[in-house]
């Protein structure tokens, strides 16, 4: 996906999150234990404001002051979204900026915020209407899988984690979208991870629509909701190494 597509996803998914009914703010978010929809919206809005600060060049960006309670939270979230989009629009996607993963560019934040909003939109709508959350656009979901593999797996397994367990060194996982282009092979090594964007056989393979695969790797739905070929227990162990809210 290109930056324009990521921007469109931010606007589309953000509008859907802002449209959550006030009556649903107290609903439990099953995919984020201990959270209700209000806490999820506070989190997402503060992430938008924190990302806006990075893009604007603020030395120590933050999520701003404590958001309001009750129905006013939805207007605050819409304002957070508008601030993010306005700041993104002031910059070329190739412009260098800081990121939580080191030096990057504005395109990094376009992609990251598109997926931040999309996953939490699903969380919120699933909480308000269990089982009724709309799936992700296949191209957006495939891009989200790619980002998860490229950014979050090494970050939370190696940079912020304890590394690869000795008994999983050499383990491999193939991920294959059935409704759009997207195939990857993840291999765990003693030093971290290797990623190949190609059709290749792994110890286990996850197959299915891109939206379902994205939800599975983000632990939003169980692996039993996608087609698992090969060593399902090992696939579950590999995914269990990476947990991000």
Phi, psi for 189 (deg, rounded to 5): -125, 170
**Cross-strand bridge partners of residue 185:** 174, 196
Tens digits of per-residue pLDDT, 61-82?
A: 999 889 999 999 999 999 999 9
pLDDT at 129: 96
Of the candidates 77, 70, 92, 68, the one whose C-alpha atom is nearest the C-alpha of residue 25 is 70
Spatial distance between the Cα atoms of 209 and 201, rounded to a whole number of angstroms:
19
pLDDT at 67: 95
**Contact predicate 230/203, CB 8 Å:** yes
pLDDT at 98: 95
Sign of torsion, CA 25 36 66 101?
negative
pLDDT at 81: 98
pLDDT at 142: 98
User: Which residue carries 């008994």 as its tokens?
Assistant: 167
pLDDT at 21: 97
Q: What is the pLDDT along the chain (245 residues), one digit of tens a residue?
A: 999 999 999 999 999 999 999 999 999 999 899 999 999 999 999 999 999 999 999 988 999 889 999 999 999 999 999 999 999 999 999 999 999 999 999 999 999 999 999 999 999 999 999 999 999 999 999 999 999 999 999 998 887 778 899 999 999 999 999 999 999 999 999 989 999 999 999 999 999 999 999 999 999 999 999 999 999 999 999 999 998 88
- Alpha helices per DSSP H over the chain: 3-18, 37-56, 72-89, 106-128, 138-147, 153-154, 210-217, 232-240
Segments making up each domain of the chain, as ranges: 3-128, 138-240
Spatial distance between the Cα atoms of 9 and 111, rounded to a whole number of angstroms:
9
- Same CATH fold, 138-240 and 3-128? no
CB neighbourhood size of 134 (10 A): 13
Topology at the third CATH level for domain 138-240 = Nonspecific Lipid-transfer Protein; Chain A (3.30.1050)
* Arch. (CATH architecture) of 3-128: Up-down Bundle (1.20)
**Contact predicate 206/228, CB 8 Å:** yes
**For residue 92, what are its two tokens?**
């070329």
Angle between helices 138-147 and 3-18 (to 10 degrees): 100
User: Which residue carries 């940079």 as its tokens?
Assistant: 159
């Amino acid at each position: 996906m290109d930056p324009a597509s990521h921007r469109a996803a931010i606007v589309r998914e953000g509008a859907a999150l802002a449209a959550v009914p006030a009556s649903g703010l107290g609903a439990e978010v099953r995919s984020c234990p201990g959270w209700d929809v209000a806490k999820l919206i506070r989190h997402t809005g503060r992430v938008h404001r924190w990302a806006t600060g990075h893009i604007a060049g603020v030395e120590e960006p933050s999520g701003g002051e404590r958001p309001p309670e009750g129905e006013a939270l939805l207007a605050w979230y819409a304002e957070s979204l508008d601030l993010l989009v306005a700041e993104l629009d002031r910059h070329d996607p190739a412009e260098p900026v800081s990121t939580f993963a080191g030096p990057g560019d504005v395109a990094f934040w376009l992609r990251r915020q598109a997926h931040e909003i999309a996953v939490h939109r699903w969380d919120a709508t699933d909480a308000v209407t269990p089982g009724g959350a709309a799936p992700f656009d296949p191209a957006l979901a495939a891009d989200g899988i790619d980002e998860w593999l490229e950014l979050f797996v090494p970050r939370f397994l190696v940079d912020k984690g304890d590394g690869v367990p000795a008994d999983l060194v050499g383990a491999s996982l193939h991920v294959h979208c059935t409704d759009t282009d997207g195939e990857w092979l993840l291999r765990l090594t003693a030093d971290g991870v290797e990623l190949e964007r190609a059709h290749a056989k792994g110890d286990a393979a996850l197959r299915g629509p891109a939206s379902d695969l994205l939800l599975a790797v983000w632990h939003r739905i169980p692996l039993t909701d996608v087609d698992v070929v090969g060593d399902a227990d090992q696939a579950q162990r590999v995914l269990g190494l990476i947990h991000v809210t």
